[in-house]
Structure 1
Amino acid sequence: MKVIITGKNFNTYKHLQDTMEKKFDKLGKYFSDDITVNVVLSQERGRDKIEATINAKGAVFRAEEVVPDIYEGIDKVVDKLSSQMSRFKGKLQRRYNDNKSVRFETLPEMEEEVEEVKVVRTKKFELAPMTIDEAILEMEMLQHDFFVFLDMETDSVNVVYSRKDGNYGVLETTY
């Protein structure tokens, strides 16, 4: 885990940096990829403030503490982030792990000349009400380019999709 430390009116020193890297390394168990933690240290009214942000694929985890001792703040921030990640992991497991095995069929090789285009498969599914953020998370977990969902706020069927520039788009339906 890579820790980027920024100090605002705060002097960071080697022992503090080593301690932070050691503490934040504990959060690496939640990620398969190498993740970056952005930490901002500052002083307000004689108290130390620590803010930590982790941008993971599909989720942002953030915690902050204002404490008289920076080491106490590091422990509290790591605990908060660990708690957030644990809840998030549980939520994902409940949503996606229904103990059913997933099977992928291999598609037959396409012939070079395709004379007629046919619909070869129709898929029916139940629309689950969710927010746009939840739909994006679901789409990323399924590794799809788009995802159809029922928007909780508008009660309309919407489509969220990945754009070529790395951002997301939403198609809102009207009837």
Structure 2
Amino acid sequence: MNVTITGRKVNLRDNFKELAVKKLSRFDRIFSENALAKVVVTLEKNRQTVEITITSEGMIYRAEATDYEMNDALDKVVSALGKQIRRNKAKLNKKVHSSVLEEYIEENPSDNDNDAGEFKIVRTKHFPVKPMSTSEAVLQMELLNHQFFMFRNQ
């Protein structure tokens, strides 16, 4: 598993990075080698927030924890990811794993400039979209703990 560790408003020590890689290595047997884990550590008013997102074969797992100590927040978030994976293991085993074809939604520029003064585009995001069934999309939405999920119906 490839691990990327980023600190926002905080300098991360090497021993924390090594600890994060060590704790995430327990998921190596579950995910393929091309899985990507993103760890983001943020400092907010003496509270440390650790957010981990694991992407593997089109599935996305995400957890976040906040604590006064960075290591405690890391323990909590790894535990939450473990629970999330165990809880959905039966559903994931039933899912047929096929190669992921990622497609990007391209931004369609508007030809109508009459409304240009009314709205301002603040941020544009591009998302990889893969064909999936409705039940698979519901599973992804539950894993991410989101209220909506964009997908392309099979």
TMscore range, shorter length: 0.5 to 0.7
* 2:10 match: secondary structure: coil
Rounded to whole Å, the distance in 2 between the matches of 1:88 and 1:37 is 18
Which residue is 2:25 aligned to?
Answer: 25
Q: How does 1:13-162 map to 2 (within 5 A)?
A: 13-93=13-93, 95=94, 130-131=134-135, 133=137
Kindly provide the CA deviation profile for residues 103-142 of structure 1, in whole angstroms up to 9, marking residues without a partner as x. Answer: xxxxxxxxxxxxxxxxxxxxxxxxxx94461699xxxxxx
Change (3 A) 1:58 1:10: same
Q: Is the 8 A contact 2:42 2:49 kept in 1?
A: yes
* 2:28 match: secondary structure: helix
Rounded to whole Å, the distance in 2 between the matches of 1:29 and 1:132 is 22
Q: Is the 8 A contact 2:32 2:56 kept in 1?
A: no
> Which consecutive aligned stretches of 4+ in structure 1 deviate over 6 angstroms post-superposition?
none
How far apart are 1:31 and its partner, in Å? 1.3
* Alignment TM-score, normalising by the size of structure 1: 0.54
How far apart are 1:34 and its partner, in Å? 3.3
Which residue is 1:4 aligned to?
Answer: 4
How far apart are 1:55 and its partner, in Å? 1.1
Kindly provide the CA deviation profile for residues 49-102 of structure 1, in whole angstroms up to 9, marking residues without a partner as x. Answer: 111101111311000011011111111111111111122222233x369xxxxx
Q: Is the 8 A contact 1:36 1:55 kept in 2?
A: yes
Q: Is the 8 A contact 1:49 1:66 kept in 2?
A: yes
Aligned length: 108
Change (3 A) 1:62 1:135: closer
Gaps of 5+ in 2: 97-132, 141-150
Rounded to whole Å, the distance in 2 between the matches of 1:96 and 1:20 is 29
Q: Is the 8 A contact 2:2 2:33 kept in 1?
A: no
Change (3 A) 1:132 1:22: closer
Which residue is 1:122 aligned to?
Answer: none
Please, what is the CA RMSD of the aligned residues?
A: 2.7
Rounded to whole Å, the distance in 2 between the matches of 1:16 and 1:65 is 16
For 1:33, give the aligned amino acid.
E
Q: Is the 8 A contact 1:35 1:56 kept in 2?
A: yes
Identity of aligned residues (%): 29
